[in-house]
Structure 1
Amino acid sequence: MSKTTAKVQSLSSFVWSIAEILRGDFKQSEYGKVILPFVVMRRLDCILEGSKQAVLTAEKKLPKGVDEATRDMILFGAVGGNVKVYNLSRFTFETLKGQDPGQLHANLIDYITKFSGNVRDIFLDKFLFTDQLKRLKDGGILWQVFERFCEIDLHPDKVSNIEMGYLFEELIRKFSEISNETAGEHFTPREVIRLIVDLLIANDDAKLTGKGIIRQVYDPACGTGGMLALTEEALKDFNPSIRVELFGQEINGESFGICKSDMLVTGHDPEQIAFGNTLTQDAHKGKKFHYMLSNPPYGVDWKKYQDPIKSEADTLGKDGRFGAGLPRISDGQLLFLQHMISKMRDDETGSRIGIVMNGSPLFTGGAASGESEIRRWMLENDWVEAIVALPTDLFYNTGIQTFVWLLTNRKSKQRRGKVQLIDATGERFWKSMRRSLGSKRREIPEEARAELVRIYEGFLNGESAESEVAKIFDTADFGHREIRVERPLRLNFQASEDRVARLRNEKVFLKLDEPEREEIKVVLLGMKNVLFTNRDDFDKALSKAFKARATKVSVPVRKAIFSALSERDANADICADSQGKAEPDPELRDHELVPLKENWQAYMEREVTPFVPDCWIDESYRDARDGQVGRIGYEINFNRYFYRYVPPRPLLEIERELKALEAEISELLIKVQA
């Protein structure tokens, strides 16, 4: 165990012991709402204590009517260094200890409300910390909690920014684990993040080596900031002199408060973490980033904010973020991915994206659907580099399978036009946890992570003697042309009692007066139940029957009669239109998915026409983009590429198990009856 790890664990244990004071007055799931803000406040107090007098003096000397931006700049300067926060309260934690304990609540409120606006907003609006302080006061434990926090020194000279980041991450993880019902909503397991980060920077050795290297990292759904923090750690481990700038946006107030606090306590610019809905209010508009990674919400609908998204798509098209297409309203994952692609740099360095999503974005939606068009856009632009299928049961609030997508606009020469699929679902890539945490029952061990990075980094194909876990495809391999196949409509007609009775289901017939309806029934039943296998013959016979009784019917009613008295009959004659062309049967209509690399005419002649000789291709069914016959669709089906046949167990083995179960049930029944 390193000194840093030991130090962080010691600090974490101490802070965790403070949480024990809350037992009884707060639910376990609420501990973080008290402890995390206190940690942030203590860290800031330690940072600002030495410059307290200088800041108060500078505040007194401010000219009257000074604007807020100038005021902040002057007071930040009085604090010194790169610190972008100040506090104008006369108190510090040290001086608060000497005050009347009965006044602690009022004094802490004074302390919090006199932070600079960027921090005051976190405590008041996002953490709602004044509510927690009141609960501590009402429970009679405020002084105990405060006094314990005074015992730890979180000054940067004692606890470095890196160590502070580790501490914050460790506390977030602990509080997430004891709140399993919501943990997965804002906390991505550490080993999953590390895998994504390792894959992102795996082939960037040359780009990250040397002095003066700056890298900007962005997460559009940053939650508590875990992905940003671990990306910075990995980059600095590779090159200690690298400068890493972190950017993010988060819609959940509490998660945003935690993330922005993390930026504050680790020395980053907190203003680069924005609050709000990334999809409707891009807080980093116009910015481009070197690395982007995210774990957006799965299967969450975007109906309530669809108007601005659709408006941007319609107005800006390909010049906006969502010009490739809009996914179904029930799942916005691909909106986040399009947003990230819009922020790729167009210089020599380019950008790399790592995003974890569920299976829906891989195959949901047929040809020409929003999802398919988005996949088409990404693959035809050759941005998709690799996709890794992760094991199930990795996340706290869901056991579903997830996939890591890796994209870049600067592919290496050997990867151009190619996509690498890696199947990491096998047992060699995960191990069971000793204790489940919500839905999380598995984790990816370090050695498995290293192997996955090796497979990806080496662009391996068919890796492993046991089974193929990596396969390389051309981007066009995922595409198909959807051809519409029509077959002729064949109907027979009969004015039987059963079929005439079906007229009761025809609205236009029911709108007629009773005498009119009865007259039509008399005419039809008078046709003597003859079966017609040719529509034109039936049409002539029907006209003759109505003429014989001088009965007139409208065109809509006549159509209703044809509908009620007809049935599909494979042996009947083909129904033709006025020009003599065969009419298609909507119920027999089918679609063939022809691989994009194959000629569709040759495919149809080989695979379809020999078996359905009366079919034809609807050549009016064309792709909106290339104008060719058939609509282009893209999907990536992992099961198809990595299917492994598992033979059924021998019948004798199954029979033995059934007999054993029967015997066990019999014994239980005997015990119950006794």
Structure 2
Amino acid sequence: MNHQTHNKLVNFIWSIADDCLRDVYVRGKYRDVILPFVVLRRIDSLLEETKDRVMEEVQFQKGTLGQAVLDPRGLQKASGYVFYNTSPWTMEKLKGTATNSQQKLVANFEEYLDGFSDNVKEIIGKFKLREQIRHMAAKDVLLDVLEKFTSSYINLTPKEKKDPEGRTLPALSNLGMGYVFEELIRKFNEENNEEAGEHFTPREVIRLMTKLIFEPIKDQLPPAITIYDPACGTGGMLTESENLLVEEEEGYGYKGDVYLYGKEINDETYAICKSDMMIKGKNPGHIRVGSTLSTDEFSGLSFHFMLSNPPYGKSWATEQKYIKDGKEVIDPRFRVRLKDYWGNVETVDATPRSSDGQLLFLMEMVSKMKPVNKRLSGSRIASVHNGSSLFTGDAGSGESNIRRYIIENDWLEAIIQLPNNMFYNTGITTYIWLLDNNKPEHRKGKVQLIDAGNLYRKLRKNLGNKNCEFAPEHIELITRAYLENWDSAPEDSLLKVKQFRNEDFGYYKVNIERPRRLKVQFTPEAIETLRYDKSLQTPMQALYETYGEKVYAGLSAYADEISHRSEREGWELNKKQIAKLLDADTWQQQKVLYEAAQQLAAHFGDRVFMDFNRFSEELDEALKTLNLSLSAAQKKNLMQAVSVYDAQAEKVVKKKEKLQGDKLSKLLDHLGCKEEELPYFGYYPSGKKGEYIVYESETDLRDAEQIGLNENILDYFLREVQPHVPEAWIDLDSVKMGYEVSFNKYFYQHTPLRPVEEIAGDLWTLEQEAEGLLKEILGC
């Protein structure tokens, strides 16, 4: 079917909504009738030719065999499909009941629907078609819709036929039917300002994806092929991939069996996809409905090829309870094993932030890759994502762990950047990820980046956000660059291509620490803060100012008043915190600390300590002298309250550690440094043989450095940090490894600003042209 005929058919079906459903449905609900009727009429037209054989089989099973329950195998054989209808009705025959009442038409229609096989009944149920039929009958438009869909001026059958004027109506192939489905969905969604892209991936993008995953191994295809899409929508990826495989002229002429699998969360699009599979003679049981993330529907299965355009920027918060138990990931699809900086293997979280679950779909496909051995040759994946999947997430985050897991296992072959405005529901830049767990030798350890952002042709009319497309020659050029493993593109090409080693995308994130330096003094302001629990400072201070010494007897009598005040003044307290505020013990514990601080203030007077270590020693002596007993937590709170950072103060010692013999040798091996380089890692000689000082770090002065995996951390520190901050050190316990891919970083080309003189010259020229035009208009 050519483009013109396809559009004519779509426009005819589209017109049914305005002709028949106006004033009966709001515009946003037209699709609830049109889409299921398209599916129903397509199935009905396929069954027309074998209707008599099916009825004979029904009579045979009921009469001759006396079966109360019909055997579906005989009925499927009679119909020639995996579906059938055992009622005497077809949509054409139903139209003949027009002389009877609407009630009779509805009864006949429901008998017709009841006659379908269970797989069609499920589709009817997902569309809620019975409710629509009753509603249309009540509004007296059911017959009108039925007549339109059985019109002799449209052909929804797989065979060519003539209209009443003798004009040829081309056959509608299964592929053509898929185009009709998705074009109607796109038009309805566009009409309603909904996101068409949730269901519809441009065909040329699917064509590119299929060529990229099949072309490299077209001569080594297995005797039977499995293809999977975890977010299959109406099945466009599955349909197009099979078409490319089996096509003789433009495809690979594949003669083996092709098994298609998919899962879709939207009932309507699932129904369309499943009906499409049935029409093609595929196993409809391979298409499942529900959330791919919540349930591992195809657990235990693996697939040769996987293609998908998962939803991006979509929250998966409602599915977290199936994936995580608290903070622990319980779904093995989203747990991965990675090595830490020291080479220890650990199981880590591979889930992205809850606001965007697109990388979970990629991990779902990764979990279903076939192993590589003598019998199996692995799997190939093509998946469309937006830019956030390339770089969102810091080192150690779920997103970064996913990228790291894929790249360190050497599965990522290439990423192709697509032009903006390529998709119907978004103008953002999108990318095709290509994965292969059986890379050819020349691709091992490397990733190819292809920037095709400038390779497109404009559409004559925008389709939603889509204003451009790939021409066949564009697809061929991208495929060629990929197959030939280009490391650069010709100067006259609109493509940009570069090759990178896997480790080029990786980096260490390292904390650079500086010592804490504290000045200590018992000031009235510092002591006053100890009257309140640090975590409840604001409300406790406000309540003390209100109730004074009453707080030490407890505030239960004022519970309602305090609860209302908390809401009014925005304290944002939970029930547990409010209970703590009302409890006398909370106030008494702080009172003990406050009074102890007052005694210590009297003991130390106005002294200022510039050496926190010295103060700590004197504090212990003072507590003994004053016979004060403080818990470790209370003592810590007191010391924090009376100390502030001061760059002129001495460094705060965390501990002193003996490092000699084997212990020292192991540490040096562990750090990969010489003994004189230990200060760079936070170990400072104390002056005593074998003893080293470890200082407290000042968190407010902490810096995080991002260092490429190709560089030695110590070398980077000595070059970039140590000359500027001599007292800084590397916290190797903080080291995390991350991965990100930045097309802007690798392909950005700076365009120098034009000289001022050149700009001024252009402005002068434009001014003269404008003046000339004005004179011409005024005739002077």
- Output the TM-score relative to the length of structure 1: 0.85
- Among all aligned residue pairs of Structure 1 and Structure 2, give the percentage whose two residues are the same amino acid: 41
Q: Which residue of 2 aligns with 1:455?
A: 481
Question: How far apart in 2 are the matches of 1:130 and 1:602?
Answer: 73
**Conservation of the 8 A alpha-carbon contact between 2:455 and 2:470:** yes
Relative to structure 1, is the Cα distance of residues 181 and 171 closer, same or farther in structure 2, using a 3 angstrom cutoff?
closer
The reply on whether 1:188 has 2:168 as its aligned counterpart is no
Q: How many angstroms does 1:644 deviate by?
A: 2.9
Question: How far apart in 1 are the matches of 2:182 and 2:633?
Answer: 71
Q: Which residue of 2 aligns with 1:339?
A: 364
Relative to structure 1, is the Cα distance of residues 317 and 300 closer, same or farther in structure 2, using a 3 angstrom cutoff?
closer
Partner SS for 2:307? strand
The reply on whether 1:31 has 2:30 as its aligned counterpart is yes
| Residue among 485, 491, 494 paired with 1:465 | 491
The reply on whether 1:283 has 2:297 as its aligned counterpart is yes
* Counterpart residue type for residue 167 of structure 1: V
Q: Which residue of 2 aligns with 1:602?
A: 715
Q: Which residue of 1 aligns with 2:113?
A: 112
Q: How many angstroms does 1:118 deviate by?
A: 0.1
Relative to structure 1, is the Cα distance of residues 323 and 92 closer, same or farther in structure 2, using a 3 angstrom cutoff?
farther
| Residue among 241, 244, 247 paired with 1:234 | 244
Partner SS for 2:421? coil
**Conservation of the 8 A alpha-carbon contact between 1:317 and 1:324:** no
| Residue among 381, 395, 412 paired with 1:384 | 412
1:73-472 superposed matches below 5 A: 73-80=73-80, 83-99=81-97, 100-102=99-101, 103-124=104-125, 126-151=126-151, 152-158=154-160, 159=171, 160-207=173-220, 214-235=224-245, 236=247, 237-240=250-253, 242=255, 243-310=257-324, 314=330, 316=332, 325-346=350-371, 347=375, 349-425=377-453, 428-430=454-456, 433-465=459-491, 469-472=496-499
- Structure 2 residue runs of 5 or longer lacking an equivalent are 161-170, 338-346, 536-585, 657-692, 764-780
Bigger mean CA deviation after superposition, 469-478 or 283-292 = 283-292
* Counterpart residue type for residue 478 of structure 1: F
Bigger mean CA deviation after superposition, 303-312 or 134-143 = 303-312
Q: How many angstroms does 1:257 deviate by?
A: 0.7
Question: How far apart in 2 are the matches of 1:543 and 1:422?
Answer: 66
Question: How far apart in 2 are the matches of 1:296 and 1:606?
Answer: 44
Q: How many angstroms does 1:109 deviate by?
A: 1.7
Relative to structure 1, is the Cα distance of residues 533 and 445 closer, same or farther in structure 2, using a 3 angstrom cutoff?
farther
Partner SS for 2:194? helix
Q: Which residue of 1 aligns with 2:566?
A: none
Q: How many angstroms does 1:342 deviate by?
A: 2.4
Question: How far apart in 2 are the matches of 1:513 and 1:585?
Answer: 27
**Conservation of the 8 A alpha-carbon contact between 2:175 and 2:239:** no
Structure with larger Rg: 2
Partner SS for 2:449? strand
Q: How many angstroms does 1:153 deviate by?
A: 4.2
Question: How far apart in 2 are the matches of 1:200 and 1:264?
Answer: 26
Q: Which residue of 2 aligns with 1:8?
A: 6
**Conservation of the 8 A alpha-carbon contact between 1:215 and 1:245:** yes
* Counterpart residue type for residue 529 of structure 1: D
Bigger mean CA deviation after superposition, 473-482 or 93-102 = 93-102
**Conservation of the 8 A alpha-carbon contact between 1:164 and 1:266:** no
Q: Which residue of 2 aligns with 1:644?
A: 749
Q: How many angstroms does 1:214 deviate by?
A: 4.3
**Conservation of the 8 A alpha-carbon contact between 1:462 and 1:471:** yes
Question: How far apart in 2 are the matches of 1:166 and 1:23?
Answer: 25
Q: How many angstroms does 1:445 deviate by?
A: 4.4
Partner SS for 2:427? coil
Question: How far apart in 1 are the matches of 2:526 and 2:749?
Answer: 51
Q: How many angstroms does 1:329 deviate by?
A: 2.9
**Conservation of the 8 A alpha-carbon contact between 1:45 and 1:93:** yes
- Structure 1 residue runs of 5 or longer lacking an equivalent are 622-629, 658-674
Relative to structure 1, is the Cα distance of residues 435 and 563 closer, same or farther in structure 2, using a 3 angstrom cutoff?
farther
Q: Which residue of 1 aligns with 2:573?
A: none
1:50-89 superposed matches below 5 A: 50-62=49-61, 71-80=71-80, 83-89=81-87
* Counterpart residue type for residue 697 of structure 2: P
Question: How far apart in 2 are the matches of 1:536 and 1:287?
Answer: 63
**Conservation of the 8 A alpha-carbon contact between 1:300 and 1:332:** yes
Q: How many angstroms does 1:120 deviate by?
A: 0.8
Q: How many angstroms does 1:610 deviate by?
A: 2.6
1:629-668 superposed matches below 5 A: 630-647=735-752
Bigger mean CA deviation after superposition, 56-65 or 12-21 = 56-65
Question: How far apart in 2 are the matches of 1:411 and 1:108?
Answer: 55
Question: How far apart in 2 are the matches of 1:458 and 1:24?
Answer: 59
Question: How far apart in 2 are the matches of 1:46 and 1:88?
Answer: 15
Bigger mean CA deviation after superposition, 220-229 or 430-439 = 430-439
Q: Which residue of 2 aligns with 1:661?
A: none
Q: How many angstroms does 1:157 deviate by?
A: 2.8
Question: How far apart in 1 are the matches of 2:74 and 2:500?
Answer: 58
Question: How far apart in 2 are the matches of 1:419 and 1:320?
Answer: 21
**Conservation of the 8 A alpha-carbon contact between 1:317 and 1:323:** no
Question: How far apart in 1 are the matches of 2:617 and 2:333?
Answer: 54
Question: How far apart in 2 are the matches of 1:461 and 1:409?
Answer: 21
Q: How many angstroms does 1:469 deviate by?
A: 1.8
Relative to structure 1, is the Cα distance of residues 171 and 642 closer, same or farther in structure 2, using a 3 angstrom cutoff?
same
Q: Which residue of 2 aligns with 1:45?
A: 44
Question: How far apart in 2 are the matches of 1:119 and 1:468?
Answer: 47
Relative to structure 1, is the Cα distance of residues 451 and 29 closer, same or farther in structure 2, using a 3 angstrom cutoff?
farther
Q: RMSD of the alignment, in Å?
A: 3.5
Q: Which residue of 1 aligns with 2:606?
A: 529
Q: Which residue of 2 aligns with 1:626?
A: none
Q: How many angstroms does 1:547 deviate by?
A: 6.8
Q: How many angstroms does 1:431 deviate by?
A: 5.0
Question: How far apart in 1 are the matches of 2:66 and 2:636?
Answer: 82
Partner SS for 2:144? helix
Deviations 1:356-407 (A, max 9, x none): 1122222222333322222222112211011122233333333333221011
- Output the TM-score relative to the length of structure 2: 0.74
* Counterpart residue type for residue 192 of structure 1: V
Question: How far apart in 1 are the matches of 2:299 and 2:67?
Answer: 29
**Conservation of the 8 A alpha-carbon contact between 1:164 and 1:265:** no
Deviations 1:72-111 (A, max 9, x none): 112112223xx10110111112322322353322221211
Q: Which residue of 2 aligns with 1:624?
A: none
Partner SS for 1:613? coil
Partner SS for 1:357? strand
Question: How far apart in 2 are the matches of 1:468 and 1:168?
Answer: 33
* Counterpart residue type for residue 172 of structure 1: I
Q: Which residue of 2 aligns with 1:660?
A: none
Q: How many angstroms does 1:454 deviate by?
A: 2.9
